[in-house]
Amino acid sequence: VEAEIQAIFPDMEIDLEEGRHGVFKVFLDGEKIFGRIPLFGKFPREGEITEKIRSKIGN
């Protein structure tokens, strides 16, 4: 996901924090735009996170 975001938004600063127990969250300007909790959630499909970023920043 990081490489996909960096390829489409090369000027965007990306900070990775190691999660625990399969928890996966993506934040944009402090707002959670994607979350996954094991057993209940799914990992993002290809392009899903960048689509959400585009909709939030208006590109």
Q: What is the pLDDT of residues 4-59, one digit of tens each?
A: 999 999 999 888 877 788 888 899 999 999 988 877 777 888 999 999 999 999 86
Q: What is the pTM of this model?
A: 0.75
The single-letter code of the amino acid at 11 is: D
| Domain ranges for the chain | 2-57
58 and 51 Cβ atoms separated by less than 8 Å: no
Position 24 scores a pLDDT of: 84
